[in-house]
Chain A
């Protein structure tokens, strides 16, 4: 059974869903092998195979081997019978070119014979190599180092804690730049303006190229005065400049 060490045991269904029927004999590795051995046994010229005799022997062999169900062997049997039939066909008189129906089979047999020769070479080499042993390469499993016990003295630990606490306690300081807002000044400006006019626009009170602090001072002044009831603020529509008007009711009061 050495010869079938690798191949599946005879007549087994492969477990994978493909359901390939593997027919493997210790004696023959395929129909071509069987055919070649018949040719060898009968000492037949491979270029001039008596096809009827070989076909009959082939059929006899595969039925005695109970290989009838093996498609590969049956296919070869059918091929042989077909070639035999072709050989029996009468050839016309004076037909110069006659294609031997066996030519393809001969070509395949020779090709296969060559494969067998290479197999002999491979077999010798592998047999020689099988008897020599190399140091097996065993993959090193990577050991992730387990961290050992923490080695630290009490003073070290305490100073570490101290460092952490100092870092944590450090206050987050902002430098706040005092911005001078002159709300009172702005109130004075607005009051002076409204003393002259009963209505004014935002842009009338604001100097051209006003600084942000001036804008903010004016806004706060207007809101302050509105709160005091000295003026009214009105915006005719969204995003429009608002209008300032003297609050007559407040004045009256």
Chain B
């Protein structure tokens, strides 16, 4: 927050705070949530079941693991091309990218340098909204992850005894 927020900004902030307090204190079914650089009035999680039973709204479809992996890679490496995504996941990504694009979670943000000028993908504000993120920095930093990407231990002949593998039967090729 800027220290020298002008009057408009302070008025807005206090109005938002007032609205949030209003929803929180007077037993409302909704609350004010800051998300994707804006604010949204959402129903409270404790009413999900009731709302679904009353068929007022249905939960959106869950994303597949493959789709989430692709999204995760794009979120951290954007702008990123299809080839790089496929290299990290070890699987073709065409169909998933298309589907994520259709769900407005990703968008083509640029074209890369190099052969064929590949399309580069990035996440959209809708991605932030659907994952309840105020901004991308809210995702865990790489060094906060349990397995941080660190350089592999320098392998020495002693740590990798070649004889150990020799004892095993070779896999059949067929």
Name A residues whose Cβ lies closer than 8 Å to a Cβ of B: 2-8, 14, 18, 20, 22, 24, 29-33, 47-48, 50-53, 55-56, 59, 72, 75-76, 81, 84, 87-88, 90-91, 95, 98-100, 102-103, 106-108, 110-119, 121-123, 125-135
| 14 further interface pairs, Cβ-Cβ under 8 Å (given A50-B165, A115-B89, A128-B45) | A3-B64, A6-B61, A30-B89, A100-B160, A102-B155, A103-B155, A107-B152, A114-B142, A119-B65, A121-B139, A123-B68, A127-B62, A131-B59, A133-B57
A contact residues around B65 at 8 Å (CB): 3, 29, 33, 119
Between-chain CB contacts (< 8 Å), 27 pairs: A5-B64, A6-B66, A6-B96, A7-B66, A7-B99, A18-B94, A20-B92, A20-B94, A52-B171, A87-B162, A88-B165, A90-B162, A98-B157, A100-B155, A108-B90, A110-B150, A111-B149, A112-B89, A115-B88, A118-B139, A118-B140, A121-B139, A126-B132, A129-B132, A130-B62, A132-B48, A133-B48
Q: By the criterion of a CB under 8 Å from any partner CB, how many residues of chain B are at the interface?
A: 68
At the interface, is chain B mostly helix, strand, loop or mixed?
Answer: loop
A contact residues around B63 at 8 Å (CB): 5-6, 126
Are A117 and B145 touching (Cβ within 8 A)? yes
0/1 interface trace, chain B 52-72, chain A, CB 8 Å (1 if under): 000011011111111111011
State how many angstroms separate the Cβ of B54 from the closest Cβ of chain A: 11
| Residue B137 interfacial (CB < 8 Å) | no
Q: A129-B130, A129-B132, A134-B42 are in contact. Are A110 and B64 (CB under 8 A)?
A: no
| Residue B10 interfacial (CB < 8 Å) | no
Are B171 and A72 touching (Cβ within 8 A)? no
Q: A52-B171, A91-B162, A126-B131 are in contact. Are A118 and B41 (CB under 8 A)?
A: no
Q: In the complex, which of the residues B51, B57, B89, B155 contacts A29, with contact meaning CB atoms closer than 8 Å? A: B89
Are A87 and B59 touching (Cβ within 8 A)? no
B contact residues around A102 at 8 Å (CB): 155, 160
B contact residues around A81 at 8 Å (CB): 171, 173
Are B69 and A72 touching (Cβ within 8 A)? no
State how many angstroms separate the Cβ of A227 from the closest Cβ of chain B: 84
Q: Which 4 A-B pairs have the closest CB atoms?
A: A100-B155, A131-B48, A118-B72, A30-B91
State how many angstroms separate the Cβ of A232 from the closest Cβ of chain B: 85
A contact residues around B152 at 8 Å (CB): 47, 100, 103, 106-107, 110
A contact residues around B157 at 8 Å (CB): 91, 95, 98
Are B92 and A113 touching (Cβ within 8 A)? no
Q: How far is the CA of A32 from the CA of B70 in the complex (A)?
A: 13
Are A20 and B133 touching (Cβ within 8 A)? no
Q: Of residues 37 to 54 in B, which have CB atoms within 8 Å of A's CB atoms?
A: 40-45, 48, 51
